[in-house]
Amino acid sequence: MLRRDFASNFKHTGVTFWTGSHILTTGEKKVALSGTYVTPEIPEMFTLKMIRGSRNSLNGASSILLSRSAAVALFGHTDPLGKVIRFDEQGSLAVSGVYEDLPVNTTLHKLMYMVSWGYFTATQDWLKRAGTDWGEDSFHVFVQVADNVNIQELSAKIRDIKAKNGGPSEAKTNPDLFLQPMRNWHLYEEFKNGVNIGGAIQYVWLFAIVGVFVLLLACINFMNLSTARSEKRAKEVGIRKAVGSVRGQLIAQFYAESLLTALLAFGLSLFLVRLSLPAFNELAGKEMPAFWTTPYFWLAGLGFTLFTGIIAGSYPALYLSSFNPVKVLKGTFKAGPMAAIPRKILVVTQFTVSIILIVGTIVVFRQVKFAQDRPVGYTRAGLVNIETNDHILGNQFNALRQDMIGSGAVKEMTRSSSPTTAVYNNRSDVSWTGKDPALAVDFANIRVTTAYGKTVGWQFIAGRDFSTRFLTDSSTVVLNEAAVKYMGLKDPVGQNLNFGKGNKVYKVIGVVRDMVMGSPYEPAKQTIFYIGDTNFDSMILRINPAMSSHEAISKIAGIFQRYMPSVPFSYQFVDDAYAQKFSDEERVGKLASAFAVLAIFISCLGLFGMASFMAEQRVKEIGVRKVLGATVFGLWSLLSKDFVVLVVIAILIATPVSYYVMHSWLSHYTYHAQLSWWIFALTGLGAVLITLATVSYQSISAALANPVKSLRSE
């Protein structure tokens, strides 16, 4: 329809299927690689860099394009053009071209091959129905917009296509269509009702802002210590002014000192980044290259360094250059009490930022722990998922299952159209008695075998499990709690559901607790489980707990290879797959904790320097107080009190700010932890204790000093 009704708006339109793993065979070589089916326009739209052949060579019904890596894996370094590949042990494809591997920092980098759409339609009968089914969601549609076409205006034009053509049900289920530029796929991937609500860009901005604040803390230290030592540099300023230096020259000198410090810090930072890059790559889960080989890095790095030097040096330069030379040289210059106010404000700012980061770190880790402890509705321990090719296994599953269980390595085994940690299929063509006509129908759709419930450990609320004892179970379904609530069924067992336009009737025989198959931070989706016999993507096995995992996997692999020798054995423990759902938040937590530790460290360095300066300034006062009978504890309290007051002010500022920020972050998750008062109390107490520990050394040293030495000059 896009090609027909909006042809003038597009240069090209193309379609791809979901990326999946298939077995490619040539001679004795059998390799499992990921790729997809594409229409002929896709190679041109993706501007593939061809090594051999042409982008326009997928018009036939039996052609395939290989990536460089796939070509080497299958044919070594010989010319693959025209050579034949067996695809999933079913059909033959001729290599019509080889393209450069797609960059690893793109969503499409897993496309190791592209199979012609003609082959897809010739081997998959269901595509004939899918081509006219508005509820089908198995395809990606790519368009290349014509020049001078406004994307927002075009999105508005195509928005209602599905609602107008798909019928009432489709009009209510994800009705809006819109254009999403490929450059935004990774960073802006979260949508609600057709409107972008964020994505990975939120983390980019988050850590950019945190990084700027940490840099600000370092700048504050520089400003504080520079101005705190002002009296020591006062005579230098006075002499320079007396011999003819103007204020502009002094400002330039102080700026030069600041810029030199910033440049030295930039050089040291490059060294530290080089040392820490492997650890950062491991934490981030990415392999970042050495970015300093590009001119953009040096331009941005040096520019930002100079900017930082100017910002950090601005207050000291303007403050120090304003001294009156007459007062300085007469010895009557003394920084008044007002001079300390900016320094106190900067200290409060430092600890406010540090406290916010600490609160954020605690909340992130609590949120992850909260979701990890959530009941998942099945027993994860001992479950193994094996991605399989249904066509290669054929009708051998029952024999394979018997051999697996008979080996003693497997307690139970099943097949499913989705693994336990994901939903691959959805459906909207479901109706039932009493259905609200205004309800947008949207169910997770899971095909299983009769042993699914026993294998995963279903927890029944009502009814029974599937069973081979009942031949009619091929027309029955099991619902989860969310589906029952969604459908508004009071007594679901025995109710009938109608599927599709043919109104095939399925009877509800059971209700199970919600299985957390999608995001652990969101409610479980309403799900329908039913018996199927084809199109399975996963085999799910429960390992015998009496056998070690290593021994069990070894036996499973041997049996698997007997039945599917052409398929590389690949498995994943469900526990590991489930743990991966928390990787983003755990990564955020680790980075946030690193930033928090760095922020506290920088703040404490500044506090230590300030405490040292204050103790030095008040050394004679301390000596007099000791002579008059002051105790060490009394002097420690006197010197520490001012800093504690500043930190308490920081706590009072940081608490509402951190509450607002973290409450906003948690609101993105439907299933989330609560913000408890003890988080803020514990963080505040920790900040006070860290402050006391930092300033105590200088305070106690000053209190223990011999007053004779400090008062001798008097």
Q: What's the average model confidence in pLDDT over 581-587?
A: 85
Worst-scoring range by mean pLDDT, 160-169, 365-374, 469-478, 531-540?
Answer: 160-169
More confident residue, 712 or 648: 648
Q: What's the average model confidence in pLDDT over 156-182?
A: 65
pTM for the full model? 0.75
Has residue 175 got a pLDDT over 60? no
Has residue 654 got a pLDDT over 70? yes
Helix/strand/coil (H/E/C) assignment for every residue in 31-55:
EEEEEEEECCCHHHHCCCCEEEECC
For β-strands 195-198 and 84-87, DSSP reports them as unpaired
Q: Tokens 């896009």 — which residue?
A: 2
Q: Please tell me the distance from the alpha carbon of residue 49 to that of residue 39, in angstroms, as a whole number.
A: 18
Cα dihedral value 612, 614, 616, 620, nearest 10: -150
Task: Please give the pLDDT value at position 540.
Answer: 95
Q: Which tokens sit at 27?
A: 């001679």
pLDDT one-digit tens code per residue, 49-107: 999 999 989 988 889 999 999 999 999 989 999 999 999 878 899 999 999 999 877 87
pLDDT one-digit tens code per residue, 251-262: 888 888 888 988
pLDDT one-digit tens code per residue, 184-196: 777 777 766 666 6
Has residue 176 got a pLDDT over 90? no
Structural domain spans, the chain: 2-149, 203-370+583-711, 389-566
Rounded to the nearest 5 degrees, what angle is found at the Cα of 97, between the Cα atoms of 94 and 98? 120
Q: Please tell me the distance from the alpha carbon of residue 678 to that of residue 153, in angstroms, as a whole number.
A: 50
Q: What's the average model confidence in pLDDT over 277-301?
A: 75
Has residue 611 got a pLDDT over 60? yes
Rounded to the nearest 5 degrees, what angle is found at the Cα of 88, between the Cα atoms of 85 and 90? 85
Positive/negative CA dihedral, 392, 395, 397, 402: negative
Q: What's the average model confidence in pLDDT over 284-311?
A: 79
Element (H, E) at 372: helix 340-372
Highest-confidence segment of 215-229, 252-266, 395-409: 395-409
